[in-house]
Structure 1
Amino acid sequence: MDKSVLFVLVTFLAYSAAPAFGTRHAEHTLNARLQSRFRRGIPDKDLGDVIKICSQNPVDLAFVVDASRSIGRRNFTIGLGFVQDMVRMYDIAPDMVRIAVTTFGYGVYEGASFSFSRYKTQPEVLEAIAQLYYYEGGRTDTGDAIAYMEKKQMVEARPEVPHVAIVLTDGTSQRRYFTRDMAKRARDSGIKMFAVGVGRWVKEEELINIAGDPSRVFRVTNYEELKTIKEELAYQTCYEKPKPTPPPKAEPCGSKHPSDIYFVMDQVALGQDGVGWTTQFMSHTVDQEQMGEGMQFGLISGICPFDSGFSLDTYSQSLSLKKRIRQNGSPKRLAQLVGQLLTSAFSESQGHRPDSRKVGVIFLGGKMDTRALLDEMKAAAINGVKLFFANTGNVSQDVLDKLSLMGTVLEGQSTREQSAIFTNLLCPPQN
């Protein structure tokens, strides 16, 4: 039970004890503050159906430390070291974790105790603990110490954060029923109690009476073994959070709106640079996630068998399609190629599906018969082909304006930009 204990107790109290204070708003505010600070301690643990959450949260934490004669000065010092190790796990600050300490033996040693408001930083708390005097008391007045902690120290505790106390002792108190009653009163006031018993002389009944629940009782053979209960205490006191139900997976665009998409290009007019540009555009487009299920692609690029492109149902896999796109052959005039959208391209023999949208992506650039092209574009639009125009460069604004009356001119300078715009227009992102 070394450095993880303090961190874990904070977590346990923040999530299991906080509802007792009825402060949902305050808990939300404190959790928001926590996000701006670094976190210490053990990581969350995935247990299948639930996740063990072990993150630090604001808390007022009181240590009640046995300083009776049976402990001895050496073990008392080791016990204080254990408390210091726990404190080092915390973000000590007025709005985060605050520490109070009470020592006891023959009654309560107020001169070797301090309250929550006394020290405000981790170095101050660590130094104060190191300076606590060992009084070597002749009794074990555990009940008096618990009552002092509850009446004198917890009155300074913040109402909006969990309150927790850890009692460290090596023996059974002289007035065990008084100890039982004082611990119950502390728990009833909203303090989560933990009991750590060291050695064989402290009775199990006493520890349970202090903690109120066997799951919050921890035992070790001697002070040197305090660190051995680290993992047990840590993961026992983390709270369990059910795993969130993942949101339903968005239905692919092609399932709702299947589309048959033809790329149309005149390779002679475009030239080597233009063909390279269109090839990149097509590759970027078929790579888009939205362009998977339900989408078919075809290419119209010539009239001879070796350069005529390919029909909609030729390629079913993206990799094969991209490989074919990179093998474009020689050309035909663009207006004539667009004309194929009206005659043969969108036919069942070429793989067109009657329930799919007809989409044409026309690559503009190089030398074009503008008048003939506009006529073919108008006819395609009238016949239900949804037209998109990808400008490879050097197309006049006048031509683009006229084409925009028949379809969508894709904005952007690069192939990647225009491809992304085309994809989002065809398959708008789901909110």
Structure 2
Amino acid sequence: MDYKLTVLCAFIAGCLLFTSASAARDSCNRAIDLVFVLDSSGSINNANPRNWQQLLEFVNKIVSMRTIGSNDTRVGVVRYSTDVVSWIYLNSYDNKNDLMNAIARIPYDGKSTNIAGGILQMRSVQFTAAHGDRPGVPNVAIVVTDGVSIIRPECTIPEAEQAHKQGIAMFSIGVTSKVDSAEVIGISSPPHTPNTYVFFAQDFRNVDNIATKIFNATCNARPPPGSAVSPTSATP
């Protein structure tokens, strides 16, 4: 094949691929209220002192793929350890750069694992009108853990089930082989489908590899079946 023709074909193929990827990304950027619930327990950085920073980079990679704004996606962040703190509320930032800078500065805690407390904070504090939750906009949560519940472990699944009933689409991510896979699966929205609502990563070096999968999964997030919010009435 002529060299110029080869180059032209490669250019056209690249443009088509870029256009297709851009179209898919645009179709995913409907408005959602998105809250990250992040494990900041001692095991995170004990294994590798870079793990917490890699987790924040993972969050920012997902944020970078979304359109952020008062009429687009809003983002909140809950950090849980022994103490549970809402570091960023849904109405804290409407500017993507400011939001990503704030996420990058969230400090590491390093105490015990309180998944139940993190989910409670997410559903009862973050998803409220006072902190930016919008009517008619899908509520989506991404819960990340690298271990098992230590504080009130008996409450973890009931708290998740209550969030399901409130119509929050729940994605769960278990990092490392030390997680309780049944717990991670139980946190996610029914039907707890692997690689749709439940994800696993070998370590924090690999969690970045599933960021695009998580982004794509949130495109189709719907309120859990039987929740207070009907999937048919949710914002498409």
Structure 2 length-normalised TM: 0.74
Residues 118/233 of structure 1: CA separation in 2 closer, same or farther (3 Å cut): closer
Paired residues of 1:40 and 1:55 also in contact (CA < 8 A): no
Structure 1 ranges of 4+ moved more than 4 A = 39-44, 230-239
1:43 Cα deviation after fit: 4.4
Paired residues of 1:100 and 1:153 also in contact (CA < 8 A): yes
Note the 1:115-264 alignment, pairs <5 A. 115-137=89-111, 139-156=112-129, 157-174=133-150, 175-212=152-189, 213-215=191-193, 216-230=197-211, 232-233=213-214, 238-239=219-220
When the two structures are aligned, how many residues end up with a matched partner?
191
1:238 Cα deviation after fit: 4.9
| Cα distance in 1 between the residues matched to 2:67 and 2:159 | 30
| Cα distance in 2 between the residues matched to 1:128 and 1:183 | 27
Q: Give CA-to-partner distance per residue, 1:25-49, whole Å, 9 cap, x none.
A: xxxxxxxxxxxxxx996644xxxxx
What is aligned with 2:5?
Answer: none
Residues 41/64 of structure 1: CA separation in 2 closer, same or farther (3 Å cut): farther
**Secondary structure class of the residue paired with 2:200:** strand
- RMSD of the alignment, in Å? 2.3
1:127 Cα deviation after fit: 1.0
> What amino acid maps onto 1:150 in structure 2?
R
> What amino acid maps onto 2:157 in structure 1?
R
1:187 Cα deviation after fit: 1.2
| Cα distance in 1 between the residues matched to 2:187 and 2:20 | 28
Note the 1:359-398 alignment, pairs <5 A. none
**Secondary structure class of the residue paired with 2:62:** helix
| Cα distance in 2 between the residues matched to 1:235 and 1:135 | 30
> What amino acid maps onto 1:202 in structure 2?
V
Residues 86/233 of structure 1: CA separation in 2 closer, same or farther (3 Å cut): closer
1:109 Cα deviation after fit: 3.0
| Cα distance in 1 between the residues matched to 2:212 and 2:102 | 27
What runs of 5+ residues in structure 2 fail to find an aligned partner?
A: 1-18, 221-236
1:67 aligns with 2:44: no
Paired residues of 1:220 and 1:226 also in contact (CA < 8 A): yes
Residues 204/42 of structure 1: CA separation in 2 closer, same or farther (3 Å cut): farther
Structure 1 or 2: larger strand share?
1
Residues 123/233 of structure 1: CA separation in 2 closer, same or farther (3 Å cut): closer
Mark the structure with the bigger radius of gyration.
Answer: 1
Q: Give CA-to-partner distance per residue, 1:337-382, whole Å, 9 cap, x none.
A: xxxxxxxxxxxxxxxxxxxxxxxxxxxxxxxxxxxxxxxxxxxxxx
Note the 1:266-277 alignment, pairs <5 A. none
Residues 236/90 of structure 1: CA separation in 2 closer, same or farther (3 Å cut): closer
Residues 150/237 of structure 1: CA separation in 2 closer, same or farther (3 Å cut): closer
Percent of paired sites with the same residue: 31
1:228 Cα deviation after fit: 2.8
- Please, which of 82, 101, 123 is the counterpart of residue 77 of structure 2? 101
| Cα distance in 1 between the residues matched to 2:181 and 2:53 | 24
What is aligned with 2:52?
Answer: 76
| Cα distance in 2 between the residues matched to 1:169 and 1:40 | 33
**Secondary structure class of the residue paired with 1:219:** strand
| Cα distance in 2 between the residues matched to 1:133 and 1:211 | 26
What runs of 5+ residues in structure 1 fail to find an aligned partner?
A: 1-38, 45-52, 240-431
Paired residues of 1:59 and 1:98 also in contact (CA < 8 A): yes
Q: Give CA-to-partner distance per residue, 1:113-165, whole Å, 9 cap, x none.
A: 1211111110110111111111111x100000110111111003101110000
Paired residues of 1:105 and 1:140 also in contact (CA < 8 A): yes
Note the 1:21-100 alignment, pairs <5 A. 43-44=23-24, 54-72=27-45, 73-100=49-76
1:201 Cα deviation after fit: 0.7
Residues 55/223 of structure 1: CA separation in 2 closer, same or farther (3 Å cut): same
> What amino acid maps onto 2:29 in structure 1?
Q
1:177 Cα deviation after fit: 2.4
Residues 57/74 of structure 1: CA separation in 2 closer, same or farther (3 Å cut): same
Higher relative contact order, chain-length normalized (CA < 8 Å, sep 6+): 2
**Secondary structure class of the residue paired with 2:50:** helix
**Secondary structure class of the residue paired with 2:135:** coil
Paired residues of 1:66 and 1:104 also in contact (CA < 8 A): yes
